[in-house]
Amino acid sequence: MGLLRQRKQPAFKGSGLVVFADVHEAMKAEQVLKGADYGVRLVAPPPALRKGCDLAIEMNLVEQFGIERLFREKDVAYVEILPLAAGASQPLDVVKVTDFGDWFMVTAGNMKVTFNKETGVIVNTSGGGCPDIPYLHAELVDRRLAEAPDPKDIGFTLCALMLHRALQECLVLWDGGDGS
């Protein structure tokens, strides 16, 4: 089996978690916050904090009032914003990298993209259960990373978003990152 590595993520001092009831709202919220230059990341919340959605947004808790105001302006529905207590269950990064020697496999949520390190060609995608998976697989496999369509532009589901995340990490690795 290959070497599994977690991606290094920026630390958020005074972290908070925005919890959602719906995946689409979590995706919309991330887009709204990044568009407003907030330093946030999409994460999997600890099971005890989930409110019907397997995604949450980790944010700097001191920015809570600005984020709440932006959500009101942009009509983003969220359940609540919670502080992440030290020592409590922490959110999980949705992206992991496994080195299989000639290939990297990047996992984002339940979705995986595997590419050849030497050629940059996507050799496989797998995971998920969304209806657009067969189409996304057909569009990505046997394409060079830089030439592959972005799954978020051609898909419509959480699986497409996770394939987008995996593809973005693949591109970082291909451009000389080491996945750590």
- On whether residue 4 sits in a domain, the answer given is no
* CA distances in angstroms from 90 to 72, 75, 167, listed in the order given: 27, 27, 25
Helix runs in the chain, H state only: 23-35, 64-74, 133-140, 151-154, 158-174
Radius of gyration of the chain (CA): 17
pLDDT in tens, the chain (180 residues): 455 544 444 444 558 899 998 888 988 999 999 999 998 988 888 878 778 777 889 998 889 999 999 999 999 999 999 887 665 666 666 789 999 999 999 998 889 999 999 999 999 999 888 889 999 999 999 999 999 999 988 988 888 888 998 999 999 999 885 544
Residues 120 and 145 placed together within one structural domain of the fold: yes
Residues 15 and 70 placed together within one structural domain of the fold: yes
Please report, in angstroms and rounded to a whole number, the separation of the first and last CA atoms in the chain.
Answer: 18
- On whether residue 109 sits in a domain, the answer given is yes
Residues 99 and 169 placed together within one structural domain of the fold: yes
3-class DSSP state of 29: helix
Residues 43 and 106 placed together within one structural domain of the fold: no
Residues 100 and 131 placed together within one structural domain of the fold: yes
Residues 163 and 105 placed together within one structural domain of the fold: yes
- On whether residue 57 sits in a domain, the answer given is yes
Q: Note the pLDDT of residue 45.
A: 82
What pTM was estimated for this model as a whole?
0.64
As for how many domains the chain has, the answer is 2
Residues 114 and 52 placed together within one structural domain of the fold: no
DSSP 46: P
- On whether residue 1 sits in a domain, the answer given is no
CATH number for position 31? 3.30.70
Residues 49 and 107 placed together within one structural domain of the fold: no
Residues 156 and 130 placed together within one structural domain of the fold: yes
Q: Note the pLDDT of residue 173.
A: 94
- Among residues 40, 56, 89, the one where a domain terminates is 89
- On whether residue 2 sits in a domain, the answer given is no
State which residues form the domain around 25. 10-89
Q: Residue 158 is encoded by which pair of tokens?
A: 């959480």
